[in-house]
A and B are shown apart, each in its own frame.
Chain A
């Protein structure tokens, strides 16, 4: 029986999940990093909650972005080193689908835990409990969009020396819209405003990312493997 593209994607995702849970340090590190960044801001800005509250959306979103950048390094690198990506490309299956599955799994392992852990950091930064739901929702959408955008840069830097810094240099400008809309949603939620407009825009970016990013990532990975 021939394996279809969806089935192949499912198998890839299953493999990545299994590998990740056998090496949990990679899962925990980005999360710890996010928590440490959130701790550093009160230490450097001010311990007063009333003033921290103003900075909270920025701290949460920049922290989330930095931690997702940190995690992006693991997205393709190991599989490129041991030849797994090459096998993917030669398998006759759609590389686009497989990379999309990898990216989604990566988000499940990094973005999802981060969004779920964000309430702790948000409460510690003085965000009102009523706004926490919106913080989690916007981070869920935003981190998914970041993973998709990041997959392109992770693919592009496969063939590069000193990939780490370059990966950040490529991803940060592309992530500007996600940061703007995400922190705007958080800010609105904290002020009790309507978060629908920035959430729709975040969702639009995520949809655009789902449509185009796997194609670009597959093209980038193919170039890197040549």
Chain B
């Protein structure tokens, strides 16, 4: 048992083929999961006794919130792998993650504001969770901005990788500081008691988590493929792949 299987992950043509084969599966399963979960969440699940139908926004809000953080972690791990072992594909993967993560963060903020209107009576409250999510969005913007501002792609890869790793050290500290900051002004707002949720409400949420992850996988594979084509446009394998 050697390490050959692992080294394949560092080879652009192999990853290109892999992502071409698997992206439709991820995408199809994600679409199916999202449809079933939406039906379960919007139709089958009973209305919340306090929040009425407004609670149903959780089926988009919570999975996006989880992914916005998970994608940042994925991006930082990919960036660290690229930095340490100098694997080009890992840098490309980190680059592919950033816009998706920023979108999920934006969706989390958007749905959070829509949810805030009926619940808190205002679109924006300086709730610790919303605020740290906003800071996360700025971190994504910083990452993408740095990448865009450096012309040499290899330098851009490495510099943004350092930033992603620094950011990952900082995210828990930011989260803690924001919690600390807000506990002075108002008690922490619990959006949802996770433990006392009815199963009929819960399964669509869990399914939605899964479907969103598959969706991330699908989009990420497509973006990665585009990224690889752009970076390796002068390589011979690209010519072969595009001809055949």
Could you list which residues of chain A lie within 8 angstroms of chain B, going by C-beta atoms? 152-153, 156-157, 159-163, 166, 169-170, 172-174, 176-177, 180-181, 184, 187, 201, 205, 208, 212, 216, 219-220, 223-224, 226
Contacts and interface: CB of A to CB of B under 8 A. Distances in A.
Interface residues of B, number: 30
Given A173-B135, A180-B181, A184-B180, A212 B149 contact: no
B178 A176 contact: yes
B174 interface: yes
Nearest to A198: B180
Nearest to A158: B159
A177 B174 contact: yes
A159 B174 CA distance: 27
Given A166-B149, A173-B167, 15 more contacts: A160-B146, A161-B149, A166-B142, A169-B145, A174-B166, A174-B170, A176-B178, A177-B174, A177-B177, A180-B177, A181-B180, A216-B166, A220-B162, A224-B155, A226-B155
A157 B146 contact: yes
A96 to B, nearest CB: 14
B173 A177 contact: yes
Contacts of B158: 223
B159 A156 contact: yes
A205 B173 contact: yes
Nearest to A161: B149
B103 interface: no
Nearest to A165: B145
B142 A169 contact: yes
A198 to B, nearest CB: 8
B126 interface: no
25 contacts: A152-B163, A152-B166, A156-B163, A157-B146, A160-B150, A160-B159, A166-B145, A170-B145, A170-B146, A173-B138, A173-B139, A173-B142, A173-B170, A174-B166, A174-B170, A177-B170, A177-B174, A180-B178, A180-B181, A181-B180, A205-B173, A216-B162, A219-B162, A223-B162, A224-B155
A19 to B, nearest CB: 26
B151 A156 contact: no
A161 B150 CA distance: 7
Interface of B: 135, 138-139, 141-142, 145-146, 149-152, 154-155, 158-159, 162-163, 165-167, 169-170, 173-174, 176-178, 180-181, 184
Q: Which has the most chain A C-beta neighbours within 10 Å: B152, B154, B177?
A: B177
Contact of A156 (B146, B169, B173, B181): B146
Nearest to A179: B177
A226 B154 CA distance: 10
A162 B169 CA distance: 26
Nearest to B172: A177
Contacts of A184: 180-181, 184
B151 A161 contact: yes
B168 to A, nearest CB: 11
A223 B159 contact: yes
A102 to B, nearest CB: 18
Nearest to B143: A170
Contact of B150 (A159, A174, A181, A208): A159
Contacts of B152: 159
A117 B62 CA distance: 46
A138 to B, nearest CB: 14
A223 B91 CA distance: 15
Q: Which of A153, A156, A216, A219 has the most CB of B within 10 A?
A: A156
B232 to A, nearest CB: 21
B138 A169 contact: yes
A216 B174 CA distance: 18
Contacts of A169: 138, 141-142, 145
